[in-house]
């Protein structure tokens, strides 16, 4: 076993895109000249228009973050009672339901995609069910056809948490066109970001007016407040940053694709290690993440052991998503949270490990990370 030295500086799973400071400063100069910092200024309008093209969606509303966007999506669709969702996600997904007084009903996931298992949704539907909130986990599309089919048969609304799916397409169709509303997060840790930010996309024109009303306190005009709204507005500084970040993502995606291929080459054929899908037919992937699964028995040591070992070398991989949302104190007493209802989600949450992936890493860095991982089992 050749000895490996720890990285001098910590390696995290991602590093945000920082566009050229000069380019951002030019945008800021325009903002200063406009004397407008928020409430649908020029940067906001331009970013909305640009993202509509980029994501290939007819309608889009910007937000100050993805979570508020998701809250607003639930409110726009009038969701109540129970909504069927996945436990294998970031806390914001079920929290957006709970903040709307909706009970999240957890459905198990499939082993191949780690997304909600469409074949298990129907048995969870009750007279109180009003919708399905599914997540395109790590940018792999959900079974959109079967989910829509179930929704149509039972008169349910469909919301997609597309926080991981910026730029993903099915058959050339932007992922934000599926379901009634999709949410994107533009948090700094996401491929495309505005430091903090997010958006809702939809194909129904009626939603545009309602969403824009709700994200601005429900204010229709100076004398009329027509709904219980919230403050979900993105400001001009964020929108300006987004416009510059957008021009960097193509190059960043190419670099991540190259580094993913290096991971693949070094880790393929390793017993007990499941790599992310490389190609899915008809799907344009975003190359945002590199998440592996470690089968303790076949690999020779546990995910937690690999995680701890990497830490010793200054590599901070993340256990996404562990713990499962259904095991949080606030949800574990829900009937649907029982481990018997969620066998795959519970198993997979013990196996997943999100590995460092961002453009500034080198093939040599990846080689070292893979070396630490394979040495861990010895």
Ligand X SMILES: *Cc1c(COP(=O)(O)O)cnc(C)c1O
Q: Interface residues with ligand X (CB under 6 A)?
A: 65-67, 89-90, 92-93, 135, 161, 163-164, 185, 187, 198
Residue 213 near residue 227, CB atoms below 8 Å? yes
238 or 372: whose CB is closer to ligand X? 238
- Closest distance of CB 235 from ligand X, Å: 15
46 or 188: whose CB is closer to ligand X? 188
72 or 337: whose CB is closer to ligand X? 72
Please name the helix (run of DSSP H) or strand (run of DSSP E) that holds residue 54, with its range, or none: helix 42-54
Measured CA to CA, the distance from residue 97 to residue 240 in angstroms comes to 31
Measured CA to CA, the distance from residue 137 to residue 114 in angstroms comes to 7
In sequence order, the 6+-apart residues with CB closer than 8 A to the CB of 266 are 366, 367, 370
Measured CA to CA, the distance from residue 294 to residue 353 in angstroms comes to 8
Both tokens assigned to 285: 């992937």
Report the candidate in 54, 179, 27 with the shortest Cα–Cα distance to residue 118. Answer: 179
CB atoms within 10 A of CB 7: 17
- Closest distance of CB 92 from ligand X, Å: 4
14 or 93: whose CB is closer to ligand X? 93
Both tokens assigned to 53: 């093209």
Measured CA to CA, the distance from residue 363 to residue 323 in angstroms comes to 31
Count of positions (residues) in the chain? 378
- Closest distance of CB 64 from ligand X, Å: 9
Q: Which residue lies nearest ligand X, judged by its C-beta? A: 66
61 or 65: whose CB is closer to ligand X? 65
CB atoms within 10 A of CB 224: 8
Residue for token digits 């957008």? 246
62 or 373: whose CB is closer to ligand X? 62
94 or 373: whose CB is closer to ligand X? 94
Report the candidate in 159, 107, 155 with the shortest Cα–Cα distance to residue 134. Answer: 159
Neighbour-count burial of 15, counting CB atoms closer than 10 A to its CB (0-12 exposed, 13-18 middle, 19+ buried): middle
- Closest distance of CB 266 from ligand X, Å: 27
In sequence order, the 6+-apart residues with CB closer than 8 A to the CB of 41 are 31, 34, 236, 239
89 or 326: whose CB is closer to ligand X? 89
């Amino acid at each position: 076993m050749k000895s490996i030295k720890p990285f001098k500086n910590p390696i995290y799973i991602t590093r945000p895109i920082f566009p050229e400071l000069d380019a951002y400063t030019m945008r800021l100069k325009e903002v200063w000249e406009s004397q407008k910092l928020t409430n649908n200024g020029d940067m906001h309008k331009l970013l909305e228009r640009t993202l509509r093209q980029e994501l290939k969606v007819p309608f889009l509303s910007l937000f100050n973050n993805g979570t508020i966007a998701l809250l607003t999506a639930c409110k726009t669709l009038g969701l109540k009672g129970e909504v069927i969702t996945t436990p294998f996600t970031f806390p914001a997904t079920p929290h957006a339901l709970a903040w709307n007084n909706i009970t999240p009903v957890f459905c198990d996931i499939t082993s191949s995609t780690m997304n909600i298992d469409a074949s298990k949704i129907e048995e969870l539907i009750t007279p109180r069910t009003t919708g399905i909130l599914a997540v395109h986990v790590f940018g792999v599309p959900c079974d959109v056809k079967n989910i829509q089919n179930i929704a149509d048969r039972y008169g349910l609304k469909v919301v997609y948490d597309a926080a991981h799916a910026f730029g993903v397409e099915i058959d050339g169709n932007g992922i934000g066109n599926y379901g009634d509303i999709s949410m994107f997060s533009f948090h700094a840790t996401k491929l495309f970001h505005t430091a903090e930010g997010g958006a809702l996309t939809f194909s129904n024109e009626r939603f545009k007016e309602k969403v824009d009303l709700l994200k601005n306190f429900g204010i229709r005009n100076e004398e009329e407040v027509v709904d219980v709204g919230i403050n979900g507005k993105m400001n001009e500084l964020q929108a300006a940053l987004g416009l510059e970040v957008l021009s960097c993502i193509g190059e960043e995606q190419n670099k991540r694709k190259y580094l993913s291929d290096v991971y693949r080459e070094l880790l393929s054929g390793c017993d007990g290690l499941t790599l992310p899908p490389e190609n899915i037919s008809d799907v344009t992937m975003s190359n945002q993440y590199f998440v592996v699964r470690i089968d303790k028995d076949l690999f020779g040591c546990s995910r937690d052991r690999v995680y701890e070992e990497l830490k010793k070398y200054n590599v901070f991989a993340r256990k996404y998503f562990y713990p499962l949302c259904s095991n949080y104190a606030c949800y574990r007493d829900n009937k649907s949270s029982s481990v018997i209802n969620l066998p795959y989600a519970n198993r997979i949450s013990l196996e997943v490990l999100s590995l460092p992936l961002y453009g500034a890493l080198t093939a040599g860095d990846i080689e070292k990370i893979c070396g630490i991982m394979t040495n861990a089992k010895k």
